[in-house]
Amino acid sequence: MTKHLIFVAFVFAALLSLPAHAAKTYTPEQLRKMVYSGKPPKQGSPTTQTQSMSFGACVAKVNAVVDSVKAQYPTKIIVQTKILHMAKVWTNDGAMTLSCSQPDGKLVITNAKYL
Which of these ranges, 3-12, 15-24, 42-51, 85-94, has the smallest mean pLDDT?
3-12
Task: Tell me how far apart the alpha carbons of residues 35 and 11 are, in angstroms, rounded to a whole number.
Answer: 21
Which pLDDT belongs to residue 1? 58
The larger pLDDT score, comparing residue 86 to residue 11, is at 86
The larger pLDDT score, comparing residue 12 to residue 25, is at 25
- 2-113: which CATH architecture? 2-Layer Sandwich (3.30)
Task: Tell me how far apart the alpha carbons of residues 7 and 11 are, in angstroms, rounded to a whole number.
Answer: 6
**pLDDT tens sequence across 64-115:** 999 999 999 999 999 999 999 999 999 999 999 999 999 999 999 999 999 9
Cβ atoms < 10 Å from Cβ of 76: 15
Task: Tell me how far apart the alpha carbons of residues 44 and 51 are, in angstroms, rounded to a whole number.
Answer: 23
What's the pLDDT band for 21 if we cut at 50, 70, 90? low
